[in-house]
Chain A
Amino acid sequence: MAEELQTLMEKDSVVVRFAGDSGDGMQTVGELFADASALLGDAIVTFPDFPSEIRAPAGSLPGVSGFQVHFGAANVMTPGDKADALVVMNPAALKVNLRELEPKGLLIINTGSFTPANLKKALYETNPLDDPALDEEFRVIKVDINALTNEALKEMPLKPALRARCKNFFALGITYWVYSRPLDLTLEWIETKWRDRLPLMADANSLALKTGYIVGENKDIDIPQYTVHKRMLEDGVYRKITGNEATALGLIAAAENSWRDLVLGSYPITPATPILETLSKHRNFNVKTVQAEDEIAAIGVAIGASFAGALAVTTTSGPGLCLKSEALGLAVITELPLVVINVQRAGPSTGLPTKTEQADLLQTLYGRNGESPVAVLAADSPGDCFDCAIEASRLALKFRTPVVMLTDTYLANGSEPWKIPSVTDIPDISVEPIRQGEEYVPYKRDPKTLARRLAVPGRPGFEHRIGGLEKTESGQVSYDAENHEKMCRLRADKVKGIANDIPLPALLGAPTGRLLVIGWGSTYGSIRMAVERMQSAGEAVSFIHLRHLNPLPHGLGELMKQFDTVVVPELNLGHLSLVLRAEFLVDVKSINKVQGRMFQISELVDAFREYL
């Protein structure tokens, strides 16, 4: 086959988007496509884009489910702006996704689903396939995937409805041919999934996949083929990982390396639920997950577990964080180690529950009664969630403080190849337990970190009471005005002092100049690719991406003052920029977007250029 390629084109990196009805299995083929690409050594970033109702009416616009894969060169860091290729399984998918396709992009359309009924469900008045503009704007390949799949499987003793279930693999087969991906991994996946339980489906899906691949080769339909230049990842052992998986694994690693059991209190909420689901599988790591009756109970369980000596965690999304605020204040005043993970989604209220946003930063920093400082940090890529979870646990344990780690829908569901760390490289984050016979003063502090000593229930001789009422150093309830101010300041100074324990992140670009871009969280990949693009065009842009948002690292203020303009792109209406303005009295400019999706690289480049 490979010898006969005619329309072979070369590319550095490619964005492919699969879109269909949520019943069409687009997430599955998207993931498999990414897996196959990863094994060619490509860098990959994926982004599933599913509807909030998983059982929305078939063929309807809200029922459209998409999956985007960006693969190729090693500097692939986002799921890509617009797609180079779009596979649509029905009219609704075309309608929803067409604007995500590059001009002249490859558009593979399953014409079989363009029936009057489906067109109506997608609110098309006329059949878009008849519109000549479509062929002018895009490279359109029309394939009746429904009919061809049915034809390919006609020998199998399967009802037509079951044959139709294989059309996603047929579409995948075509796409494999277009991008010269090997079939073996997917065939094996099909075998593993179906062979034992439903061997007929194993046969049918493999056949659909192979036939799709062969249709690609068919000379009657002119489908172009591309080779994607790959640049290898550095040597190492890799796996594909989503942000939520990485968070879960990071927490387990943190528990192992702090010599504690992991106790997770959580209440299901999109997009944080998979962390709870993943952790609940790992009982053999002594992971104790409690699905609580609500978010308040969830953090209550975690606070109790922390008091009793566990590595205590609660995971949630924005609405859940609202419910946890009072209890978070309790953890602040009792100075217990606690990791809170907020997988942000678009709000306020239920907002766009399956879409991404970074608009919980101010809530996280300030959304509690009283002087109630917590440490805040954010992960910047799916794989980074692993390191971030360990760092959050480290700070919580070392400083006896709640730490909120921010991720978001984009990181939680997106995936990338992750270089699997060697366990010997994961830092030991254990803290020295209290010694028997030690004189115990509950709120006496380490002079350096200002952290108090903890004594867990069960240790004889250390009986003491903690609680939400203000205490003196010796742990007595105190209504004394001066004592309260002293304790408030101590708690604030303790959290501020974390800055002595964290580095200033590496700067990309010159240390002085026209424009400094400051980012945080999931926008890292987009900002970095935009900045690199501009730097390679000789433009004077520098970039720093923050891991720690409270406290901010030492040196940040000075750095900001070395630039004519400081700009902060965020998926909110200006949270970090507000904080930086207040903190450093610098006239920070803000680039904002709240559309439930990531910045596009080109969009950022344009916005940055305004300040050059």
Chain B
Amino acid sequence: MDGLKEYLTRKDFVSSSEVRWCPGCGDYAVLNSVQTVLPQLGIPKEKFVFVSGIGCSSRFPYYMDTFGFHSIHGRAPTIATGIKVANPELSVWVITGDGDGLSIGGNHLVHALRRNLDMNIILLNNRIYGLTKGQYSPTSVKGQITKTSPYGVIDEPINPLRIALASEATFIARALDTDPKHMSEVLKAGAEHHGTSFVEILQSCVIFNKKAWSEISDRSTRENRLLYLEQGKPLIFGEKRNKGIVLRGTDPVVVTIGEQGITKKDLVKHDMYREDPVYASMLVMMDSPDFPLPVGVFHAVKKPVYEDELDAQIKEVTALKGRRNLQALLRGSEYWTVSNNGASIKRSTGIRTLDNDESNIMDEQIHALLKSTDPLTASLKTTVGKIFYDYDYKRSKMLSPRDSIASAIAHFKAAHIECILVGDSKRLYGILSERDIIQNVVLTSIDRDRQPISAIMRPVYEIMDESNSIGDVINILSISGHRHVPLRLKDGGFGLVTIRQILRFIHDTVEQVEKKEMEE
């Protein structure tokens, strides 16, 4: 924690750059509030980073004596995301305007909010493009006269908080540049929220949109036009604090306490912690002339935070795959070694998975084809003992693992069987099929006279007994990849259940099922 002075003060955050906003601009108040709030957060000064886009409001970082990045129009949330992802320990603040954040950068705002990184976004809404000298913005009201709407704006305005709510924002608030004390409280609550906090500040542009918020910020009308949200308190407003909001069905309605038997108790109680967005959504929709404009914290819920999840994944994957080993990564699982001037080539045991779209689609189709069920499933419960003797069964001769491969081949020919059990009177060691012979003898040049059966036999996965079901056998067949499963017979001998037996049984069952269906 070196660098953390015991007490930081507002002054520690004032940079040497001369502030260049127009006198009377609402941005000053926001700067002031932020500089007031930061020392209260217990965060070392060097951890703060202010990021902005382009606009009058976006000059903000230059005036903060913190790390800062004045970027390009609309893109501040993306840069902030990169900063926070690279170093989650930083306290990242995005300053944006109504044009910067909702027009050119609207998409980034939506996605930053839904990712929910632990950062703070302050949108200074003056309902105008200030920096470019007075064109209408996405929050300009219908009919507003600006330089690019000499006959009045015809675009429908958007509500920043509604966008935030629809973007799954976890903290939504609104404050007023003319009420710095309240603004500071709101900003502090936002900073303390774990997740992205989104605060809309109603900011006045004294040059190009003087009247934007005059109705609600005017001292004479303010009390009737604003509804201060306080956690756990009823929704009360008005000069005489006698107006409130009740719910009729699902609709909010303005009432007067004392009239028609209405008491404070009937009013809606503010609860910003409600998980569902319905209540916040109702508040967000409230606006003049029918309702007072709510200010304060609307919605504050806990949801997973992006960089925490990312960190958790890094830890999980590291636990699973092990600490980084660059050499192993470069080598991959499938590699080969050329040595002795190219005379010898040895390959690794790993097998590469092919990850092309086509093979993935093929896999998908194969799975779909296999999944379609048939009436056979029930018959899979039949016991092996039952079918073994019904379908021409094979007792197996047992060869010793030390016998030569050649003798096994001779035995295959003589006995007209496809599979031999390998073992002695006490134990079964393995199983040898014709397929093993093809794979290991025909396609390679193994010495069949000198090599023992044990060199090419496959291990026995499991020995069934007569009480096992057909399903069990199919299961073993598929796990082992064998075409035969050894069976310990009731009389103590060994037999082989073959794929062919199973298939014939299935075939017969299908025939029976079909016959039955026809009869019905």
Give A residues with C-beta under 8 Å from B. 22-23, 25-28, 31-32, 35, 38-41, 48, 50, 54-55, 65, 155, 157, 159, 161-162, 165, 182-185, 187-189, 191-193, 195-196, 198-203, 210, 231-240, 249, 252-253, 256, 261, 263, 265, 282-286, 288, 290, 292-294, 296-310, 312, 326-327, 329-330, 334, 420-423, 456-469, 476-477
- In the complex, the answer to whether A283 meets B481 with C-beta atoms within 8 Å is no
- In the complex, the answer to whether B2 meets A460 with C-beta atoms within 8 Å is yes
- In the complex, the answer to whether A300 meets B443 with C-beta atoms within 8 Å is no
Q: From A183, which residue of chain B is reached at the shortest CB distance?
A: B443
16 further A-B pairs in the complex, CB-CB below 8 A; given A165-B366, A253-B330:
A25-B358, A27-B356, A35-B352, A183-B443, A235-B339, A235-B341, A263-B85, A285-B329, A288-B86, A288-B310, A296-B108, A310-B86, A423-B327, A460-B4, A467-B62, A467-B70
Bitwise, B44-77 to A at CB < 8 A (1) or not (0) is: 1111110100100000011011111111100101
Q: Which residues of A contact B51 (CB under 8 A)?
A: 304
- In the complex, the answer to whether B327 meets A422 with C-beta atoms within 8 Å is yes
Q: Which residues of B contact A48 (CB under 8 A)?
A: 356
- Give, as a whole number of angstroms, the nearest-CB distance from B238 to chain A: 43
Q: Tell whether A23 pairs with B361 under 8 Å between CB atoms, given A157-B506, A238-B335, A468-B71.
A: yes
- In the complex, the answer to whether A297 meets B111 with C-beta atoms within 8 Å is yes
Q: Tell whether A467 pairs with B69 under 8 Å between CB atoms, given A307-B82, A460-B2, A460-B44.
A: yes
Q: From A161, which residue of chain B is reached at the shortest CB distance?
A: B369
- Give, as a whole number of angstroms, the nearest-CB distance from B434 to chain A: 12
- Give, as a whole number of angstroms, the nearest-CB distance from B1 to chain A: 9
B80 beta carbon closer than 8 Å to chain A:
yes
Partner of B317, one of A283, A329, A421: A283
- Give, as a whole number of angstroms, the nearest-CB distance from A286 to chain B: 6
- In the complex, the answer to whether B45 meets A463 with C-beta atoms within 8 Å is yes
- Give, as a whole number of angstroms, the nearest-CB distance from A503 to chain B: 24
- In the complex, the answer to whether B86 meets A420 with C-beta atoms within 8 Å is no
In order of increasing CB-CB distance, the 9 nearest A-B pairs are A232-B342, A304-B82, A460-B3, A300-B78, A467-B70, A465-B68, A199-B478, A308-B86, A304-B79
Q: Which residues of B contact A191 (CB under 8 A)?
A: 481
A101 to B338, CA, bound (A): 32
B353 beta carbon closer than 8 Å to chain A:
yes
16 pairs, CB–CB < 8 Å, chain A vs chain B: A25-B359, A35-B352, A203-B481, A235-B339, A235-B342, A239-B335, A296-B78, A297-B81, A300-B75, A304-B79, A307-B79, A327-B75, A423-B330, A463-B45, A463-B68, A465-B17
A199 to B474, CA, bound (A): 10
Partner of A462, one of B46, B87, B329: B46
- In the complex, the answer to whether A305 meets B71 with C-beta atoms within 8 Å is no
Q: Which residues of B contact A38 (CB under 8 A)?
A: 336
- Give, as a whole number of angstroms, the nearest-CB distance from B196 to chain A: 15
- Give, as a whole number of angstroms, the nearest-CB distance from A149 to chain B: 14
Q: Tell whether A420 pairs with B2 under 8 Å between CB atoms, given A184-B444, A199-B477.
A: no
- In the complex, the answer to whether B331 meets A239 with C-beta atoms within 8 Å is yes
Q: From B89, which residue of chain A is reached at the shortest CB distance?
A: A458
- In the complex, the answer to whether B338 meets A293 with C-beta atoms within 8 Å is no
A261 to B316, CA, bound (A): 17
- Give, as a whole number of angstroms, the nearest-CB distance from B173 to chain A: 24
Partner of A27, one of B329, B354, B483: B354
- In the complex, the answer to whether B326 meets A253 with C-beta atoms within 8 Å is yes
A327 to B336, CA, bound (A): 43
- In the complex, the answer to whether A192 meets B351 with C-beta atoms within 8 Å is yes
Interface residues on B, range: 35 or more
- In the complex, the answer to whether B86 meets A162 with C-beta atoms within 8 Å is no
Q: Which residues of A contact B54 (CB under 8 A)?
A: 468
Chain B stretch 440-484: residues in CB contact (< 8 A) with chain A: 443-444, 477-481, 483
A293 to B316, CA, bound (A): 25
Partner of B86, one of A39, A187, A249, A261: A261
Q: Which residues of B contact A22 (CB under 8 A)?
A: 358, 361
- Give, as a whole number of angstroms, the nearest-CB distance from A480 to chain B: 15
Q: Which residues of B contact A282 (CB under 8 A)?
A: 317, 329
Q: Which residues of B contact A327 (CB under 8 A)?
A: 72, 75
- In the complex, the answer to whether A235 meets B340 with C-beta atoms within 8 Å is yes
Q: Which residues of B contact A32 (CB under 8 A)?
A: 354
Q: Which residues of A contact B407 (CB under 8 A)?
A: none
- Give, as a whole number of angstroms, the nearest-CB distance from B107 to chain A: 6
- In the complex, the answer to whether B82 meets A290 with C-beta atoms within 8 Å is yes
Bitwise, B290-334 to A at CB < 8 A (1) or not (0) is: 000000000000000000001001101110111110110111101
- In the complex, the answer to whether B67 meets A39 with C-beta atoms within 8 Å is no
B90 beta carbon closer than 8 Å to chain A:
yes
Partner of B324, one of A182, A284, A420, A476: A284
A237 to B327, CA, bound (A): 12
A516 to B424, CA, bound (A): 77
- In the complex, the answer to whether A459 meets B107 with C-beta atoms within 8 Å is no
Q: Which residues of A contact B438 (CB under 8 A)?
A: 210
B373 beta carbon closer than 8 Å to chain A:
no
Q: Tell whether A198 pairs with B370 under 8 Å between CB atoms, given A290-B82, A465-B69.
A: yes
Q: Which residues of B contact A461 (CB under 8 A)?
A: 3, 46
Partner of A188, one of B332, B351, B443, B479: B351
Q: Which residues of B contact A293 (CB under 8 A)?
A: 107-108, 110-111
Q: Which residues of B contact A265 (CB under 8 A)?
A: 78, 82
Q: Tell whether A239 pairs with B345 under 8 Å between CB atoms, given A162-B370, A330-B72, A465-B15.
A: no
A172 to B326, CA, bound (A): 35
- In the complex, the answer to whether B357 meets A41 with C-beta atoms within 8 Å is no
Q: Which residues of B contact A187 (CB under 8 A)?
A: 439
Q: Which residues of A contact B361 (CB under 8 A)?
A: 22-23, 54-55
Q: Which residues of A contact B410 (CB under 8 A)?
A: none
Q: Which residues of A contact B62 (CB under 8 A)?
A: 465, 467, 477
Q: Which residues of B contact A196 (CB under 8 A)?
A: 479
Q: Tell whether A185 pairs with B82 under 8 Å between CB atoms, given A27-B358, A236-B337.
A: no
- In the complex, the answer to whether B342 meets A25 with C-beta atoms within 8 Å is no
Q: Which residues of A contact B334 (CB under 8 A)?
A: 35, 239-240
- Give, as a whole number of angstroms, the nearest-CB distance from A296 to chain B: 6
Q: Which residues of A contact B17 (CB under 8 A)?
A: 465, 476-477
Q: Which residues of B contact A35 (CB under 8 A)?
A: 334, 352
Q: Which residues of B contact A298 (CB under 8 A)?
A: 78
A119 to B358, CA, bound (A): 23
Chain B stretch 342-375: residues in CB contact (< 8 A) with chain A: 342-343, 345, 347, 351-354, 356-359, 361-362, 365-367, 369-370
B83 beta carbon closer than 8 Å to chain A:
yes
Q: Tell whether A463 pairs with B351 under 8 Å between CB atoms, given A165-B365, A165-B366, A239-B332.
A: no
Q: From A476, which residue of chain B is reached at the shortest CB distance?
A: B17
Q: Tell whether A304 pairs with B80 under 8 Å between CB atoms, given A198-B366, A465-B62, A477-B17.
A: yes
A39 to B337, CA, bound (A): 9
Q: From B65, which residue of chain A is reached at the shortest CB distance?
A: A463
- In the complex, the answer to whether B78 meets A232 with C-beta atoms within 8 Å is no
Q: From B46, which residue of chain A is reached at the shortest CB distance?
A: A460
A310 to B502, CA, bound (A): 61
Partner of A41, one of B83, B342, B362: B342
Q: From B62, which residue of chain A is reached at the shortest CB distance?
A: A465
B503 beta carbon closer than 8 Å to chain A:
yes
Q: Which residues of B contact A236 (CB under 8 A)?
A: 337-338
Q: Tell whether A308 pairs with B82 under 8 Å between CB atoms, given A23-B361, A55-B361, A234-B338.
A: yes
A48 to B194, CA, bound (A): 47
A233 to B338, CA, bound (A): 7
Q: Which residues of A contact B71 (CB under 8 A)?
A: 300, 303, 330, 467-468
A301 to B45, CA, bound (A): 23
A256 to B329, CA, bound (A): 12
- In the complex, the answer to whether B83 meets A420 with C-beta atoms within 8 Å is no
A293 to B51, CA, bound (A): 19
Q: Tell whether A27 pairs with B327 under 8 Å between CB atoms, given A162-B370, A300-B81, A308-B83.
A: no
